[in-house]
Structure 1
Amino acid sequence: MVEFAICLPFVITVTMAGAELANYTTTKMRISQLALLVADNASRIGSGSMNAKTISETQINDLLTGAGLQSGRLNLFQNGRVILASLQPSATENKFVVKWQRCRGMQQVTSSYYTATNTTNLNLPVTGDIDGITVKNHLVTPPSKGAVMFVEISYTYQPLVSLQFLPSINQTINDSAALTVRDNRDYTGGTSGIYNAENATRSLCAQYTAT
């Protein structure tokens, strides 16, 4: 009994640390999957002619809402933020711009991969000319007549028990995903290529809300 009493605190600590590590690893995997889900859905949305599908603010809002539902108990938008951007060719040869971006989530972060030089005029690109978006030493660029849907998720990890069991981890989990738009898309109509016939509320990046 004496030996058990001596070992018990150590056993409890190791058990709690193991449970916390497993939960953290699972959360990181889910955030990665959510980033890919948003990028995949954003690359597929659109309606109308197959020659030039149009996308709308409502469709973007719906795919963000879907990500929130998919996140379940992670409470993605209460504890994090999703940034969806459209990387497209610039008028300048071999240069690109983030034509538009939409965001949702309460975490106070901006993109880690590009600097938004325009955050007010929706008719102008979000960035100036850039070489692309570099992710883990790989340069992401869109095709000459297409776009890449680039997604970033930043999430504040919610511990299962306490972060004291994993003092070395980074509580902020960041992940990204990029997928090329799959269909021919109308990139010029509406507002920077996004229509809003329904007069839906835009998920603008100046807002830090969960809805």
Structure 2
Amino acid sequence: MRRSIIRKAVRWYRLRADERGVSTLEFALILPLFITMGLTGVEYAYMATVNMQVSQTAISLADNASRLGQTDNSSVTPTVTEADIDSIMSGAIRQGEGFDLQANGRIILSSLEYDEATGRQYIHWQRCRGDLDRDSSYGDENENNGLGSNTITGVGTADNQVTAAEGSAVMVAEVFYEYDGIINGAFGEPAEFRQEAVFTIRDDRNLTPGVTGTGGESSCSG
């Protein structure tokens, strides 16, 4: 009995003194932390990249919208057509193909103009693309266009608002995007990005009729 106890004590001592698996054990304990930190870093880096791409899409859309009709060489002041708008809206969706803007986002293009009769800012027309259900932060082209009960003081940040001058228009591009992460849902609820860009039209444009032409695939109600 005594010998058995001694042998057990010796084995226990040898086990305690054995350090051959210490590094492996320490690595196994700390590995989940390293994986979590690494995945979090990758996630935030990719999130920042997508947010920047959303911003660039908004800038490109507003810039392209401000140039509509710029290459028209006719003597008649050009209007904006449904085909023109479809072209630049499709371009914005194409620009966002890398992060699936069509399925997870919404792009809204509004023409902010000055109403001579009331002296108020209003949305003359508005067009949309993308499957995400979002509305413009400023209004729409119907009852919330700025000439009814709601008013639009300008677009942009509160301390740097942009307004349309008489006889001119401001192209306002808003891009919404629902970001669900590289590993879908792994980091909680999806984050939503919203970026906007504002450009004043570059050349003379016949604003009176709004958007001309028929058809069009960029209706906000569709």
Same fold (TM over 0.5): yes
| Aligned partners of 1:64 and 1:104 also within 8 Å | yes
Question: Per the alignment, in what secondary structure is the counterpart of residue 145 of structure 2?
Answer: coil
Backbone CA RMSD of aligned residues: 2.1
**2:197 maps to 1:177:** yes
Query: 1:117/1:177 Cα in 2 relative to 1: closer, same or farther (>3 Å)?
Result: closer
Matched, 1:79 2:104: yes
User: Is the CA contact (8 Å cut-off) linking 1:79 and 1:155 kept in structure 2?
Assistant: yes
- Counting only pairs closer than 5 Å after superposition, residues 92-131 of structure 1 correspond to structure 2 as 92=117, 94-112=119-137, 114-116=138-140, 118=142, 126-128=145-147, 130-131=152-153
Gaps of 5+ in 1: 120-124
Which residue matches 1:140?
A: 162
| 1:188 aligned onto 2:208 | yes
In structure 1, the partner of 2:178 is 156
- The 8 Å contact of residues 173 and 196 in structure 2, kept in 1 or not, is answered as yes
Look up the equivalent residue of 1:2 and give its one-letter code: L
- Residue 109 of structure 1: how far off its partner (Å): 1.0
Give TM-score scaled by structure 1 length.
0.84
Alpha-carbon spacing, 1:136–1:76, altered in 2? closer, same or farther (3 Å): farther
Which of 53, 60, 66 in structure 1 is aligned with 2:91?
Answer: 66
Between 48-57 and 149-158, the greater mean CA deviation after superposition: 48-57
1:162-199 deviation line (CA, Å, top 9, x unaligned): 4544x5x861111110000001001113xxx2111xx3
2:126–2:140 CA contact under 8 A, matched in 1: no
Aligned to 2:218: 203
- Aligned to 1:103, the other structure's residue is in SS state strand
Q: Secondary structure at the match of 1:148?
A: strand
Q: Which amino acid aligns with 1:137?
A: D
1:80–1:106 contact (8 Å) kept in structure 2: yes
**Aligned pair partner of 1:12 in 26, 35, 54:** 35
Look up the equivalent residue of 1:27 and give its one-letter code.
V
Asked whether 1:26 is paired with 2:45, we answer no
Distance 1:49 1:117, change over 3 A: closer
Q: Give me the whole-angstrom Cα distance separating, in 1, the residues matched to 2:159 and 2:217.
A: 32
1:117 and 1:205 mapped to 2: Cα distance?
A: 9
Change (3 A) 1:66 1:117: closer
Does the CA-based 8 Å contact 1:48-1:54 persist in structure 2? no
Deviations 1:107-134 (A, max 9, x none): 111111x233726xxxxx9331532224
Answer 1 or 2: which has greater helix percent. 2
Task: State the number of aligned residues.
Answer: 194
Write the distance in 2 (CA, Å) between the matches of 1:51 and 1:25.
Answer: 45
Alignment-mate amino acid for residue 25 of structure 2 = V
- Of structures 1 and 2, the one with the larger relative CO (CA 8 A, separation 6+) is 1
* Preserved contact between residue 105 and residue 130 of structure 2 (Cα < 8 Å): yes
Distance, in Å, in 2 between the alignment partners of 1:50 and 1:181 is: 18
Pair member with larger Rg: 2
Q: Is the 8 A contact 2:79 2:205 kept in 1?
A: yes
One-letter code aligned to 1:186: N
Q: Which amino acid aligns with 2:200?
A: T
Deviation at 1:90, TM superposition (A): 0.9
Following superposition, the deviation at residue 49 of structure 1 comes to 3.2
